Amino acid sequence: MPLLTTGKAAEEAGVGRETLRFYEREGLIEKPIRGNSGYRQYPPETIARVRFIRRAKELGFTLNEIRDLLALSDPPNAECAQFRAHAKSKIEEIRSKIGKLRKVERALSSLVDTCERSGTPQKCPILDALED
C-alpha cells in the first residue's frame, strides 16, 4: 500500500492533517493525486519530505529556508555553478550553527562539572557561549 490518505499520511509523517494541506498550499510538498472520491493519495516520498521539514524546523530553519534546502535536492537544478554557490553558502550557515551549538554545549558541560566538583553550581559563562 504505497498511497496513503490524509489521516494516515499525517500520522506517518508526525504532523496534523491540516498541516499537510497547509504545506500543499505553501508549495512545500507536491499536490497529491486524488482518487475518484476526491480524496488525496500521498506517495511515500511526500511523507519523507514532510518528516524532513519537521526535523529541519527543530533545527531552527524557517519554512522558507527549508523550501530553499529542498529546492537544492529537487531536479531540475538549472545551473551547476549557481547551485554550488547556493549549496556552499548553506553549508557555511550550517557549520556556523554547529559551532555555536557546541559553544552552548561546552558552557553547559562546564557548569555541570563545576557543580559536580563543588557541590553547588556557580554562576557561569552560558551568556559568553554565543558572543561574537
Partner DNA sequence: CTACACCCTGTAGTATACTACAAGGTCAAG
Partner DNA sequence: CTTGACCTTGTAGTATACTACAGGGTGTAG
Binder of residue 44, out of a copy of itself, DNA, none (CB less than 5 to 8 A by kind): none
**Restricting to residues 48-67, which ones interact with DNA according to CB under 7 A?**
53, 57, 62-64
- Please choose, out of 12-20, 82-90, 110-118, 121-129, the segment that lies near DNA by the rule CB under 7 A: 12-20
The distance of closest approach from Cβ of residue 117 to DNA in the complex, given in angstroms and rounded to an integer, is 34
Contact 41, 1 (CB under 8 A): no
The set of long-range contacts for 128-131, using a CB threshold of 8 Å and a minimum separation of 24, is 129/100, 129/103, 129/104, 130/100, 130/103, 130/104
19-38 mask for DNA (x: CB under 7 A)? x-xx-----------xxxxx
